[in-house]
Amino acid sequence: MQIAVSGGKGGTGKSTVAVNLAIALREYFDLALADLDVEAPNDHILLRVELQNEEPVHMFMPRFDYSKCTKCRKCAEVCEENAIITMKDGTPFLMPTLCSGCRACEIVCPVTGAILEGEKLMGHTYLTETPYGFPLVTGKLLEGEERAMPIVTAAKRRAKTLNKELLLVDTAAGTSNTVSKALEDSKLLIAVTEPTPLGLHDLTLILELAKLMGIEAWVVVNRADIGEKQRVKEIVERYNAEIVGEIPYSEAIIRSYVKGEPIVLTDSKEAGIFRNLAKKIANYLG
């Protein structure tokens, strides 16, 4: 079973909610947390653990054996990313940063052995034990690489092999297809938002994505006491979603965030919000 924490833009508190919720949910489930914000993974920092068990994510990249290549240009024609360019005589060249590793060129190449198996390193996945009794899987894109999708896919596969009762996924910001990939197969989406015009704009998008994917959506309003809560309610109603938690603007949360001490482990009133939410999720998932 899988649930996800997401929300439109960055800075609304996705990772804070994901990390605290994971700790609160361990009372109910044998679980794993997956940080799929591969461009800026931070859950390990909030949990104060060093990333462990690094595994590289390699992507296929064609290498041309020019002694066998017949310069038919089929590889260049089929490449949807225009990563292969050909010289006047048809000699192919690869522009590595554009290559998506899909193997279309290899599939169409009529000559066996003209396209060789090359690979490039796109990033890493990590499997880290946390002091909280659940493992954390993290995907991390290499700086300078553009494509997050292979890392999201690899990290998700690795998280699934753990075969936990519950997988809690923390996604990147926005609603691009890498966020859809992270959300895929979730039974429930916890959308984190704030009642500001920016938060409302992004909440609409993430609820739209949940609707398209047929995922039940719950909304947690962060910094609930600034801005216009009524507008959040209107959007939530329009999407048949539900507000399941409100987190006030809180110095205690900021301090815990800064120090890397999860707030849910304190006896503050903010901790209660996460514990209630965990209980509600446990009841819903059964």
Partner 1 sequence: MQVAIASGKGGVGKSSVAASLIYLLKDEYSLIAVDADADAPNLDLLFGVEMWEEEKELIGAKVARINTKTCIKCGICAERCPYDCIKLTNGNYVVNELTCEGCGVCRLVCPVEGVITLEEVRSGIIRKTTTKYGFPLISAQLDVGRPNSGKLVTEEKEWAKRIMKEKGIEHMIIDSAAGIGCQVIASLGGADVAILVAEPTPASLSDVKRVYKVVQHFREPAYLIINKADLNPGFKGLYEFAEAENIPIIGEIPYDRAIPRSMTMLKPVVEAFPDSKASKALKEIAEIIKGEILR
Give the binding site for partner 1 (CB under 8 A).
8-13, 15, 37, 39-40, 42, 45-46, 78, 80-81, 100-104, 107-108, 141, 143-150, 153, 157, 172-181, 184, 196-198, 201-202, 205, 208-209, 212-213, 223, 226-228, 254, 257-258, 260
Q: Which two tokens stand for residue 9?
A: 């833009």
How far, in whole angstroms, is CA 226 from its chain's centroid? 27
Least distance in Å: CB of 117 to partner 1? Answer: 14
Find residue 85's DSSP bridge partners: 93
Q: Count the helix, strand and coil residues of the chain and give each as a percent rounded to the nearest 5.
A: 35, 25, 40
What is each CA distance from 226 to 13, 193, 244, in whole angstroms?
A: 14, 12, 18
Q: Which is nearer to partner 1, 29 or 195 (CB)?
A: 195
Q: How many CB atoms lie within 10 A of CB 92?
A: 23
Least distance in Å: CB of 238 to partner 1? Answer: 15
Least distance in Å: CB of 203 to partner 1? Answer: 11
Q: Which is nearer to partner 1, 166 or 172 (CB)?
A: 172
Least distance in Å: CB of 59 to partner 1? Answer: 9
Q: Which is nearer to partner 1, 25 or 154 (CB)?
A: 154
CA distance 203 to 190: 11
Q: Which is nearer to partner 1, 29 or 223 (CB)?
A: 223
Least distance in Å: CB of 159 to partner 1? Answer: 13
Least distance in Å: CB of 263 to partner 1? Answer: 14
Q: How many CB atoms lie within 10 A of CB 242?
A: 12
Among 188, 184, 191, 128, residue whose Cα is nearest residue 156: 184
Q: Which is nearer to partner 1, 23 or 105 (CB)?
A: 105
Q: Which is nearer to partner 1, 149 or 244 (CB)?
A: 149
Q: Which is nearer to partner 1, 210 or 281 (CB)?
A: 210
Least distance in Å: CB of 27 to partner 1? Answer: 26
Is residue 181 within 8 A of residue 153, CB to CB? The reply is yes
Q: Which residues contact 112 (CB under 8 A, 6 or more apart)?
A: none
Q: Which residues contact 152 (CB under 8 A, 6 or more apart)?
A: 36, 38, 139, 178, 181, 182
